[in-house]
């Protein structure tokens, strides 16, 4: 089973505080959707409203064209995996997975078949007779996912399920989740504040901020053509460079001018833009390190981050603003060096005072 999920003009308020403000979203069957955003943006609340754990104040939620927002959680055909594993410590893995099915009267042979199939999918038949105390954190999370699988839901909801795992285990479990989606071909919604999880897992990312959706798109659409300054700064590590700029719109494409006299010829059509204050944005990989005097600007190196395949260079411009550029992994640049910074105008972005973005015209 799988599900199309429609969220139509949904709002949620806790007392005087508005948490979600007239939000709409369509999720296609078999999609892996990630709700991404900072703490307090409403992403977990939205997930809980789909699950039926929070009431909808206004608007509606439908699965396969049938409204479900009036139904109790158990009648929605949804399974949820939480940040905490919530396993019964005195029960075996097998009993933990069976418990919910037994409570609703599913026949024993059906339960056994579903458990064996979930264990096969998750590669954990050898764990079925162990208790949670005998399992690692990753194995416990796998059991929590197995408990969801045996319900044969229309959709899976994951509420920051990797947050309690260490870095290496998070990476491994992330890969397992991607493989699980490929095997099950089910609709999955995953909530996280971690943009690496979002970029590596999602078919589409829903970036949430301040009670609303800022952008919906594939990982690379979000990364390469962010709709707002918030999205540009939240997605990507390190964050996009931002510099206050004025625009020269006398040519076909706009030129961004910084306070210290630096200028960058963009590939953004002047006709798209209006007068006013703008922020120039560019990602670190689009700022090359060159000899002093050979780029758009000169800077003094403050910090180096050696990441193996590349080195991030944090350089201070003449007006005090910091720019992060990218050099080779074996870069010979040292702290205190004066370097040149060459900006790729084709990869530059402009943001107006409201945060709206403009990008180079697509080829």
Tell me the pLDDT of the chain (363 aa) as tens digits.
678 999 999 999 998 899 999 999 999 999 999 999 998 899 999 999 999 999 999 999 999 999 999 999 988 999 998 877 788 899 999 999 999 888 888 899 999 999 998 888 888 899 999 999 998 888 888 888 888 888 889 999 999 888 877 778 788 888 888 888 988 889 999 999 999 999 999 999 999 998 899 999 999 999 999 999 999 999 998 999 999 999 999 889 999 998 878 899 999 999 989 877 899 999 999 999 999 999 899 999 999 999 999 999 999 998 888 999 999 999 999 999 999 999 999 999 999 999 999 998 764
pLDDT, residue 351, reads: 96
Report pLDDT digits (tens) over 209-267: 988 999 999 999 999 999 999 999 999 989 999 999 999 998 899 999 988 788 999 99
Q: Domain extents for the chain?
A: 5-233, 238-359
Closest CA to 332 of 301, 363, 355, 362: 301
Contact 290, 341 (CB under 8 A): yes
pLDDT tens-digit map of 241-255? 999 999 999 889 999
d(CA 258, CA 240): 16
Which among 195, 132, 158, 168 is positioned nearest to 32, based on CA atoms? 158
Contact 18, 211 (CB under 8 A): yes
| Assigned token pair, 146 | 């197995």
Angstrom distance (rounded) from CA 57 to CA 205: 25
Q: Measuring CA to CA, which residue among 193, 282, 204 is closest to residue 239?
A: 282
Q: Hey, what are 151's tokens?
A: 């319900």
Specify the CATH superfamily of domain 5-233.
P-loop containing nucleotide triphosphate hydrolases (3.40.50.300)
CA distance 333 to 314: 11
The CATH code of domain 238-359 reads: 2.40.50.140
- Helix and strand numbers (H, E) in the chain are 8, 21
Q: Cα–Cα distance between 91 and 121 in angstroms, integer? A: 21
As a whole number of angstroms, the distance between CA 102 and CA 167 comes to 36
- 61, exposed or middle or buried, with CB in 10 Å at 0-12, 13-18, 19+? buried
Three-class SS of residue 232? helix
Q: What are phi and psi of 6, to 5 degrees?
A: -115, 125
């Amino acid at each position: 089973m799988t599900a199309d999920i429609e969220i139509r003009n949904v709002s949620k308020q806790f007392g005087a505080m508005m948490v979600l403000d007239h939000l709409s979203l369509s999720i296609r069957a078999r999609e892996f959707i990630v709700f991404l955003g900072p703490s307090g943006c409403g992403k977990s609340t939205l997930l809980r409203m789909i699950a039926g754990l929070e009431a909808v104040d206004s608007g509606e939620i439908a699965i396969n064209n049938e409204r479900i927002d009036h139904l109790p959680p158990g009648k929605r055909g949804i399974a949820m995996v939480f940040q905490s594993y919530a396993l019964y410590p005195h029960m075996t893995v097998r009993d933990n997975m069976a418990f919910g099915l037994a409570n609703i009267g599913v026949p024993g042979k059906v339960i056994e078949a579903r458990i064996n199939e979930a264990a096969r999918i998750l590669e954990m038949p050898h764990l079925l007779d162990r208790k949670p105390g005998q399992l690692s954190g990753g194995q416990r999370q796998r059991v929590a996912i197995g408990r969801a699988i045996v319900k044969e839901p229309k959709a899976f909801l994951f509420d920051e399920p990797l947050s309690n795992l260490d870095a290496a285990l998070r990476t491994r479990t992330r890969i397992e989740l991607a493989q699980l989606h490929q095997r099950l071909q089910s609709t999955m919604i995953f909530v996280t504040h971690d943009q690496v999880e979002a970029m590596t897992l999602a078919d589409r990312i829903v970036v949430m901020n301040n009670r609303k959706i800022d952008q919906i798109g594939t990982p690379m659409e979000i990364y390469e053509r962010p709709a707002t300054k918030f999205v540009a700064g939240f997605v990507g590590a390190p964050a996009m460079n931002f510099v206050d700029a004025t625009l020269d719109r006398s040519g076909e494409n706009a030129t961004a001018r910084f306070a210290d006299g630096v200028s960058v010829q963009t590939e953004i059509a002047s006709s798209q833009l209006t007068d006013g204050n703008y922020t120039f944005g560019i990602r670190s990989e689009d700022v090359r390190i060159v000899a002093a005097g050979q780029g758009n600007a000169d800077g003094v190196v403050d910090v180096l981050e050696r990441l193996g395949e590349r080195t991030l260079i944090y350089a201070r411009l003449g007006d005090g603003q910091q720019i992060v550029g990218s050099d080779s992994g074996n870069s010979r640049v040292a702290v205190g060096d004066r370097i040149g910074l060459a900006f790729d105008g084709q990869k530059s972005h402009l943001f107006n005072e409201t945060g709206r973005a403009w990008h180079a015209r697509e080829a």
